[in-house]
Amino acid sequence: MDRRERGSRRKLDVALIGTLGLTGVAMGLLTALVGLPPGVEPWVWMAAYALWVVVIAGRREARPFVTVLLASVVTGLLTGLVQGLLQQRYIASNPWYAADFAGLGSGLVLGLQFVGFGVVMGSLFGVAVGLVAVIVARVRGR
């Protein structure tokens, strides 16, 4: 295999990263418009990430860790943006977090906190799930 072939195999699938990143819009809308209790939301996220691993393993992505990490950061960013834009609705739909929001302010400051939290959590979960995707890829013999 020549150098050009290796390079093309190592390219990131930006369309896949963007598509997986749309999970953030769905989760942002779900949490802002419906609300998910603290005992339910982590399970919904885990189901979404499990589906990602299945998709990435099925496609035999050349760089599963980086793909998941970037998609997760995009997801966190989009989740935070949606929640930040719909912050009053989010607070109303998630009364179990009322005490947490009491001292955070509102408007742009709170919106930026939603975005920042989303990016941080997306990064952390991206690393964790990215490692799982690498393990699955190795077990499958990518």
CA angle 82, 22, 20 (to 5 degrees): 145
Residue 142 has a pLDDT of: 59
Structure token digits, residue 34: 């419906």
Nearest to 125 by CA among 5, 40, 24: 24
Q: 89, 134 in Cβ contact below 8 A? A: no
- Asked whether the predicted pLDDT for residue 1 surpasses 50, the reply is no
Q: 33, 89 in Cβ contact below 8 A? A: yes
Helix (H, G, I), strand (E, B) or coil at 80: helix
Q: Enter the pTM of the model.
A: 0.88
Any idea where the domains of the chain sit in the sequence?
A: 15-95+105-140
Per-residue pLDDT of 22-73, as tens digits, reads 999 999 999 999 999 999 999 999 999 999 999 999 999 999 999 999 999 9
Residue 9 has a pLDDT of: 57
Which range (6-15, 47-56, 62-71, 120-129) has the least confidence?
6-15
What is the pLDDT confidence band of residue 21, given thresholds at 50, 70 and 90?
very high
